[in-house]
Amino acid sequence: MSDSLNSYRSQTDFDREHSFLFGNADINEPDDFESSNDQLETTSHNHSTSSEDEDDEDNNPFKGTNHLYSEGLQKSLNNKAVTSRRNIISSNPNVRLPPSVSYISMPTLTPHDIEYLNNENIKELDQPLYTSETYHGQASNDGFGQYSFIKSKEEEIKIIYAGKFQFADGKIAIGYTILYNNQKITRRYTDFVNLRQILKKMLPTCIIPPIPERHNLFSYILQPFHFSFNYNKSSGSRKFLDESDDTLLKRSRQFQMFLNLCLTKSNIRECIVFKRFIDADFANWVTVMNQPPVSILPESNLQAPPLDPIKPSPLHLLLPLPKRFQLNYKSKNNQKLNDDSEIDKDLSSIEHLESFNKFYIDPAIKIYNNFKSHLESAVDYIAELGGYYNVSSIETQFFNFHQNLTEEEYGLQDHSMNASILSTLDRRHEDGNRDGFVSDDALNIYLEKIGQIYDSNYIATQFLANDLNISIKEHLEMLSKYNEETISLIHFRQSKIMQKKIVEENHFVLREKLDFLRKIQTLDKTDKKETTAADVTNDLEEGQLSADISCDASEISISNQDESLDTSDGNKTDDFVESVLMKNKGNSKAIQAAINQYKIQKRQNAYKKVISETPLEKKDTKKKKKSSMEHSVISREKLDEEIEEVSKKLSHMTKLKELATKDVNEVNREFEKECDLQSKIYDDIWNKDILSNVEASVYAWANENLSHWEKFLSEIDI
């Protein structure tokens, strides 16, 4: 009872002290950052000391962990859980922890888990907060765990803690505490996912490093005891959390790698969203998500400038969206397209990457999984074997009975045997004293030593298995994800190129039409009065083409007009709403957000209309083909009108074409850069993370075992 009370108190205290940190804190003013940061440090310090005070009252201090079990297992577990939770509160000021009751009653919280949490937090508490030096020695949190041959790299950014937190929105989740620039910030898995999605949208030409996958139902079915069932009081929602050590460590490792890879890419490093993600001042990720630039991202990054999708020009919105199936489309027209070869190249590289995933990485992972399970059971057997050796070393001699033999016992048996037995015994004793039997115990020593060797071999092999798991499996998975990313980047580039091609085609068609119309005009001018049907029929072939073209063009112009009309209509009606909103703009953030939302919606509506009308175009062309045939004789007024229209359209299209070409060029340039960077990353992963690490750990493993066996051999030779 007292435990829960205490924690409740601490929680409310905490709320009061830190309320400014959550949600509605105004974080746009830099002055506030400084002060809040200072406060944050001091309050957390205060808090850690206060929680220690409470512990003294509880008669449950950190140092007294040994006596905890004396009070019975259940109670000691509770105590431990509470202690650990308190520590989390004190060391991670930007999150709260759930009320103690729900936490303690969780069935899957094994003593081991608690111990893990406890150890972690005692470590953190013992060290002063927010100093970089203190984390240097903390090798256990570098993502490899404590059991590894691999020396951890000095990383710029680190995940120093992973565990349960209650976040600002009241949900209990696993949080990962990031240490960067001596600042700590806790993010959860969904935050990472969001970040990645946004980065992908904001930097379409960039290959964003992969992050670990979500848990699927399958893994839950396989290992139900790794998950705990969390009941959230405030919203009543239930959620499964995987809080096994392995998963936490693995994810921390991967997130750390993700963040570090992000830092190596200048694009991402400069990105404001990423900066905020690792900035302790933006503790509440949800607010970041609802702010620009995140909130004003366009829906499709194909209709935005590839380098800066936040600021799309109005022309970008008019760019056509190529469909998926069009990506493989090859133009049948005679237009020379120098992009064709590039597209072919892209296609082959996509194919290559896909088959690389399919035929190398996947089977490799499969084989590795087999290998891993074998290795793991081998580890078990090694442990067993070490035990057997040790047990058998206790007693190896079966002919060894000096101790229990007394004359009386023989007397109880048959007296007639006495003499002979004793004589043999005597002889044996003589033998034993003479030679040879000095080494009686040697076998014991042998067995014991072998047992020890197997024991250490067990530990070493466990290290090895762990290391290989990290360096092979996780990295191969990452490579596979990277390949997928690269494929999607290639797709993006292709779509961009397709876009350009469509624009070019349209442009070409328009120009043809204009030329044709002009030709007719000049013809009209020369042969004003001698227009005959024959002429028309002579030109029928050409006319047909032109008719088609004209239809196309007119449709486009119509749709564009529609769009402009729509938008203008919309503008009229929406102006009122907007003005109302603008009036209240200063008062609340919510309205600001609403305005943003509104604007986006408006823009999106506009796109949607364009998109929805494009398919109509084609149908209409077919229908109107016949009608245009009938109206093959075009009146002069109409002709003039059309020429004007088409030329207008053409200038429009020229602009679009320029834009698209520019975009494609930009994308291509970025693509080259990205590929260079990516190849470096590939090389890095292969060289350092996979090959070198495997070599290092196997070597270390072999060396350690070698030293043991060599020692044994040298000892037994004497």
Residues 667-706 that bind another protein (CB under 8 A): 675-676, 678-679, 682-683, 686-687, 691, 694-695, 698-699, 701-703, 705-706
- Please state the closest distance from residue 155 (CB atom) to another protein, in A: 22
Choices 239-247, 423-431, 514-522, 640-648 (CB under 8 A): range interacting with another protein: 423-431
Choices 12-20, 129-137, 172-180, 436-444 (CB under 8 A): range interacting with another protein: 436-444
157 DSSP 8-state letter: S
Calpha distance 718→714 (Å, rounded): 7
Of the candidates 70, 420, 532, 568, which one interacts with another protein according to CB under 8 A? 420
Check residue 431 for interaction with another protein (CB under 8 A). yes
Q: What is the DSSP string of 361-381?
A: IHHHHHHHHHHHHHHHHHHHH
Q: Total residues at the site for another protein (CB under 8 A)? A: 81
Residue 245 or 376 with smaller CB distance to another protein: 376
Check residue 355 for interaction with another protein (CB under 8 A). yes
Check residue 414 for interaction with another protein (CB under 8 A). yes
Check residue 716 for interaction with another protein (CB under 8 A). yes
Calpha distance 411→425 (Å, rounded): 15
Check residue 709 for interaction with another protein (CB under 8 A). yes
Calpha distance 531→527 (Å, rounded): 6
- Please state the closest distance from residue 412 (CB atom) to another protein, in A: 8
Residue 405 or 565 with smaller CB distance to another protein: 405
Residue 48 or 495 with smaller CB distance to another protein: 495
Check residue 428 for interaction with another protein (CB under 8 A). yes
Check residue 718 for interaction with another protein (CB under 8 A). no
Calpha distance 367→466 (Å, rounded): 16
DSSP helix/strand/coil, 696: helix
Long-range contacts of 29-38 (CB under 8 A, 24+ apart): 33/281, 36/281, 37/280, 37/281
Choices 39-47, 80-88, 389-397, 541-549 (CB under 8 A): range interacting with another protein: 389-397
Calpha distance 578→576 (Å, rounded): 5
Give the pairing type, strands 238-242 and 158-166: unpaired
Angle, in degrees to the nearest 10, between helices 636-684 and 475-526: 160
Residue 302 or 382 with smaller CB distance to another protein: 382
Can you point out the beta strands (E) in 481-604? none
Q: At 187, phi and psi to the nearest 5?
A: -125, 155
Could you tell me which residues come within 8 angstroms of residue 258 by beta carbon, excluding any fewer than 6 positions away? 192, 196, 209, 210, 211
Restricted to residues 394-413, the positions that interact with another protein (CB under 8 A) are 395-401, 404-405, 409, 412-413
Residue 658 or 672 with smaller CB distance to another protein: 672
Calpha distance 180→211 (Å, rounded): 18
- Please state the closest distance from residue 421 (CB atom) to another protein, in A: 7
Residue 137 or 436 with smaller CB distance to another protein: 436
Choices 94-102, 105-113, 416-424, 519-527 (CB under 8 A): range interacting with another protein: 416-424
Check residue 438 for interaction with another protein (CB under 8 A). no
Closest CA to 292 of 600, 580, 521, 41: 600
Site string for another protein, 75-114 (x = CB under 8 A): ----------------------------------------
Of the candidates 12, 234, 424, 651, which one interacts with another protein according to CB under 8 A? 424
Place of tokens 């203190």: 134
Residue 447 or 646 with smaller CB distance to another protein: 447
DSSP helix/strand/coil, 309: coil
Check residue 629 for interaction with another protein (CB under 8 A). no
- Please state the closest distance from residue 304 (CB atom) to another protein, in A: 24
Restricted to residues 449-468, the positions that interact with another protein (CB under 8 A) are 450
Supply 92's token pair. Answer: 């991670």
Check residue 446 for interaction with another protein (CB under 8 A). yes
Check residue 73 for interaction with another protein (CB under 8 A). no
239 DSSP 8-state letter: E
- Please state the closest distance from residue 378 (CB atom) to another protein, in A: 4
Supply 160's token pair. Answer: 């120093």
175 DSSP 8-state letter: E
- Please state the closest distance from residue 628 (CB atom) to another protein, in A: 45
Residue 441 or 641 with smaller CB distance to another protein: 441
Calpha distance 40→532 (Å, rounded): 90
- Please state the closest distance from residue 408 (CB atom) to another protein, in A: 11
Q: What is the DSSP string of 620-643?
A: HHHHHHHHHHHT-S--HHHHHHHH
Check residue 2 for interaction with another protein (CB under 8 A). no
- Please state the closest distance from residue 368 (CB atom) to another protein, in A: 8
Residue 237 or 348 with smaller CB distance to another protein: 348
Query: Do residues 122 and 85 make contact, with C-beta atoms less than 8 angstroms apart?
Result: no
Restricted to residues 357-386, the positions that interact with another protein (CB under 8 A) are 359-360, 363-364, 367-368, 370-371, 374-375, 377-378, 381-382, 384-385
Restricted to residues 469-488, the positions that interact with another protein (CB under 8 A) are 486
Compute the Cα dihedral for 216, 220, 226, 229 and give only its sign. positive
- Write down the number of H helices and E strands in the chain: 22, 5
Give the pairing type, strands 238-242 and 227-231: antiparallel
- Please state the closest distance from residue 265 (CB atom) to another protein, in A: 16
Supply 57's token pair. Answer: 């009252």
Residue 25 or 698 with smaller CB distance to another protein: 698
For residue 337, count other CB atoms closer than 10 A to its CB: 17
- Please state the closest distance from residue 420 (CB atom) to another protein, in A: 5
Restricted to residues 480-539, the positions that interact with another protein (CB under 8 A) are 486
Calpha distance 667→298 (Å, rounded): 18
Residue 351 or 527 with smaller CB distance to another protein: 351
Could you tell me which residues come within 8 angstroms of residue 98 by beta carbon, excluding any fewer than 6 positions away? 164, 166, 172, 230, 233
Residue 16 or 330 with smaller CB distance to another protein: 330
Supply 199's token pair. Answer: 């980065």
Check residue 327 for interaction with another protein (CB under 8 A). no
Site string for another protein, 151-170 (x = CB under 8 A): --------------------
Residue 8 or 401 with smaller CB distance to another protein: 401
Of the candidates 69, 116, 388, 508, which one interacts with another protein according to CB under 8 A? 388
Q: What is the DSSP string of 424-460?
A: HHHHHHHHHHHSSGGGGGHHHHHHHHHHHHHHHHHHH
For residue 267, count other CB atoms closer than 10 A to its CB: 20
